[in-house]
Amino acid sequence: MAEQTLYDLTFEEARAERDRRIEAKNLIGREECEPELNRMGTMRWYLHPGLETPSTRALYFHELEIPQGSNSGKLYCQGGVLHFVLAGRGHTVLDGKAHEWEDGDAIVVPIRESGVTYQHFNTGVGDVRMLVSWANLDSAISAEGGVAMEILEPCPEWQAANPEG
């Protein structure tokens, strides 16, 4: 029996992905997405390469919730991140400059060769809810997209739940 080649492996992986998609879902409701508190805030993941349930892994896609009077973590990344504000009012500090927004607005974080730093602030009444998406280019240019990706400052809720760090 011949040793498996990389070409054989390509077909095996394609078959496995095809089989996974047969059982996968094209419609995922908010109630199916467990809230996850992380350094950026509370997220509900709809699409992520680590999730088996969705039929596609082409995008990172989640809802970000920011409590009244709070803020997201501060992120340094390549950019290219789209936010759609479902509910709330606030501003985003992008590379030191504040930009106001409200429900129904889109926030598009530009792609910059040297990267960008941004953080969202809830200045309205009630929770802010945003849909957040960016392309999954991990296999082409890594999850970091060509520059480092780092949380420069965690959100207050994560800090409170993780006092050690």
Query: Any idea which fold 6-161 has?
Result: Jelly Rolls (2.60.120)
pLDDT band at 7 (very low <50, low <70, confident <90, very high): confident
In whole angstroms, how large is the CA radius of gyration of the chain?
18
> Using one digit for the tens of pLDDT, what is the confidence trace for 31-54?
999 999 999 999 999 999 999 999
Reported confidence tier of residue 1, pLDDT bands at 50, 70, 90: low
In the block, which residue shows the tokens 């889109």?
Answer: 106
Predicted confidence (pLDDT) per residue in 107-145, tens digit: 999 999 999 999 999 999 999 999 999 999 877 776 666
At residue 146 the predicted structure's pLDDT band, cuts being 50, 70 and 90, is low
pLDDT given for residue 30 in this prediction = 96
Query: Is the pLDDT reported for residue 152 higher than 70?
Result: yes
Q: Where are the domains of the chain?
A: 6-161
Round to whole Å and give the CA distance between 9 and 5: 6
CA gap 114, 104 in Å, rounded? 29
Q: How far apart are CA 52 and CA 67, in angstroms?
A: 29
* pLDDT higher at 27 or 164: 27
pLDDT at 134: 94
